[in-house]
Each structure stands twice: as structure tokens, then as C-alpha cells.
Structure 1
Amino acid sequence: MGFDRETLREAVETHGRVVRVVIAAIRGSSPREVGAAMLVWENGQSGTIGGGTLEYQAAEAARRQMVPARLSQHALGPDLGQCCGGAVTLLSEVYDLAAVGALDETVVARAVSGGGMPLTVKRLLARARGQGLPPEPQLIDGWMVEPVHKPGRALWIWGAGHVGRALVGVLSPLPDFAITWVDTGPERFPDAVPGGVTVVPAAKPAELVRHAPRDAEHLVLTFSHNLDLELCNRLLSHDFRFAGLIGSATKWARFRSRLAPLGHPPGRIGRITCPIGDPSLGKHPQMIAVGVAAELLRHARQNEQKKDLSA
């Protein structure tokens, strides 16, 4: 996770003055990692730094904050009603539109305790900009350094029915997903769409497959079996990292028999996952969404482990 500049910008545009509270450093056990952040405004907040009482007290202090930036130390023990046994350092910073507009697009580095930029930070920035190696979020030599967050996984959700809406509700808060949501017309989508989700109404959705990145992940769950089939056909000809189709084993057997005459060999057809999610959880849209989200996260974790073993 890094500095989510877009979410901060949207919060400032909506609520005005916003305080961003980030875990700058930890010692021992902590409910969240360095770089975990929440946004606080007068009547609300978003994100989480974890910890229950820690988060509540930090949010209340942020609403009263008068200085542009403030560091605070918190022991996660009996005084906070917690038993983590560690300690966290929080950095709370006030943002308005001008401050958000001044943020760097790659790495956000700023002095916390005053003084010029130390050599350690200069080296981190040079490596990030010259070699494309973003630094880990860290408080170093009086400076807070965070890479700007960019979602690493392009997810295309085809269909805005009950299951599509449930999936967007479950997956949109996850920071790694950049979601493109496609259906046949604007009336198919809800009035309120979560931030970070790109809505694309298209009379002929299958025509959009060629515009998807070849490493994108896809969930196919439209109102039409014929459209589902055409999307599967286009995806098999286009390539993808993952493609999941909603449906039963019977539906998938019929699709396989219809995809083969279109020129797709069994091995390629087998790259599509159907059914998706965990059928044992049930068929309620939210149950399907929870199972699919777990499957996507598990799939990514397995790929990471494979990379670690081959490194």
C-alpha cells in the first residue's frame, strides 16, 4: 500500500479540509502496517489504521488539529484497552485542494521534524525515479517517505445486475484493484458508484474486450447467456490473467461445446474458471461476491508465492 493520492483528492473535493493519519513507524506488535492510513473530516472518516481505541482517539485528535502536521506516539497497551504490546508513531497531516495538487506523482516525501532533505531520502527518490523501484513507506531521518499508490490489478466486471453490484461493493474498497464496470446502458448501473470504479455503458460490450489490458482479470456475469458466451469467445482470442464466468457446471459444459467450434482448443477453454467463487457459501449475491473475492485474492497470493520460489 502507498499514498492513495486519488482517494485523498476525492475526499478533499467532497468534504473540504481533510486530515490524513498514517502509521509512520511501529515497534513490536501493531494492528496495521507502516503506511496504513485513514482520512478524517469533520463529520466522518474513511480507511483504517486499526486498533479500535487507537483509531478513535486519533480521529478525534485529527478533527481538533490546528497545525499542518503532527507526530504522536501511542503505546498499544492497557491505557488504550489493547494487548498488542507494541507502539506506533502516527503522522497526521492537514490537506486542502492546493496541498493535494502539490503532491508528487511517484513518491511523496516530506520533512516531519524540519531540516533539509537528508542523503538517505535523496537516494530513495533517485532509485524510485531512475530505476523505477518505489520505496517502502517509512519514517527515515526526520522525513516521511511513501510511494504513490497505483492499483496493480486491472479488473473488468461484465454485468451490473445483482451479483455485479455485490462484487463491486466487496471489491472496490480493496486498494489493488482498478475496476472497469461494463454493461449495456447507463440505466443498468446504480446511481451511486464507489470511487475508483470506471463505469462504461456500451451497447455492444463484447466490442470492448480488445481495449482491456492483456494481463487484466475478468468476471463475466451479464443478464444474457449469449452475451456471456460472446465475451468468453472474445477473451479467449484476446488473452487475460484470469477470467471467471458465473454459472453452473451444466452452463459451462454447454459453453465448452460451443466455444470449441469457434476455434478454441480444450486447453485454452480450460483457462476460464466456471463456476466462480465458493458454491458452498450459497447463491445470495453477497455470498457469491464474498466467494469470488476470496478466489481472486487467493489466486494472486498463489502467483506471488510462485514468483518467490522461482526468484
Structure 2
Amino acid sequence: MNNWISTLATLQNQGEPCVLVTIIEELGSTPRNAGSKMVISAAHTFDTIGGGHLEYKAMQIARDMLVRGQQNTHLERFSLGASLGQCCGGVTVLLFEPMGQVQAQIAVFGAGHVGRALVPLLASLPCRVRWIDSRDQEFPENIPQGVRKIVSEEPVDEIADLPVGSYCIVMTHNHALDLELTAALLKRNDFAYFGLIGSKTKRVKFEHRLRDRGFDTAQLQRMRCPMGLTEVKGKLPMEIAISIAGEIIATYNANFGQHTAGAEPIAKLLPASRRSQAI
């Protein structure tokens, strides 16, 4: 098996996006072989298309694609010569193919009954999931592929390590912990989505306490509570999980690449939830 094929399989299993670079055309007296491939991830390169400045430029382009979350294939034509530090002339055309691009980094706080129904659904999406709880015994024995189980005595401390633009879901067993997680997320304020499980009454109580801590209306509007699509009815854990997963999908499809604190509040993108999540 070619090295690049096994590398792609390994990166896919790890949930790590990468770009496959292929020489698809060679014109002129160049030493490179059409069909040569290399795989480029954010931190590593695998195989080679012949080295030199051309390969260096290919790495720059591929990593820029990864940073921007580009999912479309891309052709780049290089005129070889002095501009690329080559002693011979010619033209090389490279094909850049993004592979395994992650659309969402998701943090789920809480391994209760709804969390156990939700996380396998999220794991089947083009996402990476951090599943966080202080209670190791609440996690299932088999953790889905693409999910990182985090047992932390202080779940709030995990917020500092979340990537910018994360999708954050708070559904712990403890209202006081939910409040502290909410305050920490709103203070950081660089998430793409933040959903808090609970009823409208819970939201009112939390808003009152958060205003006492200095949070303003604009910050509170970024909190989705109750969360989940109203079109998905029911109060069973799986029904609630499906509605939340649907909302996540709708959000990243609408806002992919717009992971800033100035992005539109989720309340403006989705219909108001009427679900009473009694947690």
C-alpha cells in the first residue's frame, strides 16, 4: 500500500483534517513525476512531491486551506524557474484536495442520559467532540470514535482549552455547575454556538444571576436556552438529543467559517425553542 493511502486512513481515524497534494501535469524539463503525492496536515507532512521550493509553496498553500477551512479542491499552476529557485524551466500543475475537514469543534459538558444519547449522534458528523464530566462512572464503556472523553474534577477549567469557534453544550447534573460554565463561556465569548439545556424558567433565573455578575443583554442573547429544534417533538433523551443535533447542524451550515464574537446570535438564525427541558 502506498504511504499516502495509509496516512490518509490514519488521519481520518484520528479525526485530523489534511490536504492531499498531487502533481497532475508536468510541462518542460523538470525532474518531478506526474502522479506523485504528499499529505499535509496542520503540523506534519507525509511523503514528497520532489522537495525544493515547489514543495515548500505547496505546504504553505495547503496549510492556508486548512486554516480557512476550505473544502473545495484547488488547482495551482507553477512556472518553474528563478521564481521557485529552480535551475530549469517548465510548468507544474498541482491539485490540492482537502480531506476530512472538520466542520465543528464541539464540547459537551455532561454525561447524563441526554448526553449519552447526543454524543454518538454528534460523533457521526464531521465534528470533533470533547465530552466532559467529573463523574467517570457516567461515561459508557465504549466511547465513539472521534470523541475525546475528559474526566475533570473542575469542568469549568476545561473551557480555557477549547478552540476558538467551538460549539458548546452544557447539560450537567448540577444547576450551580451549569451556571459557572455558562458564566465562563459568556466571559470568553468566542464560541460559535452555546446551548444550555433547561426550561424557560431556568433561563430567566440564569439571566437574573448573570446580570448581577455584569453580563449585558448582547452577551445573554448568545445563550440558547431552551435549545433544540422545535420541529422535533418529545421529551425522551433521544428525542431531545436529535433536536439538539439538528440545531448544531443548522448552525454550522449557516455560519461555517464565521467563528467570531460578532457573529449573529443563534436566536436570530433559528426559531425560538418552546421545548421545556426539565433538567
TM-score interval w.r.t. the shorter chain? 0.5 to 0.7
Q: Please give the secondary structure, in 2, of the residue aligned with 1:133.
A: helix
Q: Which residue of 2 aligns with 1:250?
A: 201
Q: Which residue of 2 aligns with 1:133?
A: 65
Q: Deviation per CA, 1:246-299, whole angstroms, max 9, x where unpaired?
A: 011111111111111111112111110001113451111111111111111111
Q: Please state if 1:215 is matched with 2:145.
A: no
Q: Please state if 1:303 is matched with 2:255.
A: yes
1:300 is displaced (CA, Å) by 1.6
> Following superposition of structure 1 onto structure 2, how do residues 195-210 of structure 1 map, counting pairs within 5 Å?
195-210=145-160
1:108 is displaced (CA, Å) by 5.8
Higher RCO structure, 1 or 2 (CA under 8 Å, sep 6+): 2
Q: 1:277 to 1:4 in 2, by over 3 A?
A: farther
The CA distance in 1 between the partners of 2:107 and 2:209, in whole Å, is 23
Q: Contact 2:233–2:239 at 8 Å: present in 1 too?
A: yes
Q: Which of 286, 291, 296 is the aligned partner of 2:243?
A: 291
Supply the AA of the counterpart residue of 1:221.
M
Supply the AA of the counterpart residue of 2:106.
L
1:6 is displaced (CA, Å) by 3.2
Q: 1:174 to 1:262 in 2, by over 3 A?
A: same
The CA distance in 1 between the partners of 2:239 and 2:55, in whole Å, is 44
Q: Deviation per CA, 1:41-64, whole angstroms, max 9, x where unpaired?
A: xxxxxxxxxxxxxxxxxxxxxxxx
Q: Contact 2:159–2:184 at 8 Å: present in 1 too?
A: yes
Q: Which residue of 2 aligns with 1:164?
A: 115
Q: Which residue of 2 aligns with 1:173?
A: 124
The CA distance in 2 between the partners of 1:119 and 1:195, in whole Å, is 31
Supply the AA of the counterpart residue of 1:303.
N
Give the share of equivalent positions with the same residue, in percent. 30
Q: Which of 4, 15, 34 is the aligned partner of 1:117?
A: 34
Q: Which residue of 2 aligns with 1:107?
A: 20
The CA distance in 2 between the partners of 1:156 and 1:235, in whole Å, is 11
Q: Contact 2:23–2:95 at 8 Å: present in 1 too?
A: yes
Q: 1:109 to 1:243 in 2, by over 3 A?
A: same
Q: Deviation per CA, 1:92-135, whole angstroms, max 9, x where unpaired?
A: xxxxxxxxxxxx96426499xxx93259997x977652222378
The CA distance in 2 between the partners of 1:215 and 1:169, in whole Å, is 21
1:149 is displaced (CA, Å) by 2.0
Q: Contact 2:107–2:132 at 8 Å: present in 1 too?
A: yes
Q: 1:128 to 1:294 in 2, by over 3 A?
A: farther
Q: Which residue of 2 aligns with 1:185?
A: 135
- Between Structure 1 and Structure 2, how many residues are aligned? 206
Q: Please give the secondary structure, in 2, of the residue aligned with 1:156.
A: strand
Supply the AA of the counterpart residue of 1:130.
Q
Q: Please state if 1:264 is matched with 2:181.
A: no
Q: Which of 171, 179, 190 is the aligned partner of 1:229?
A: 179
TM-score (structure 2 length as normaliser): 0.63
Q: 1:304 to 1:238 in 2, by over 3 A?
A: closer
Q: 1:225 to 1:4 in 2, by over 3 A?
A: farther
1:302 is displaced (CA, Å) by 1.8
Q: Which residue of 1 aligns with 2:46?
A: none
The CA distance in 2 between the partners of 1:181 and 1:306, in whole Å, is 23
1:188 is displaced (CA, Å) by 1.8
TM-score (structure 1 length as normaliser): 0.57
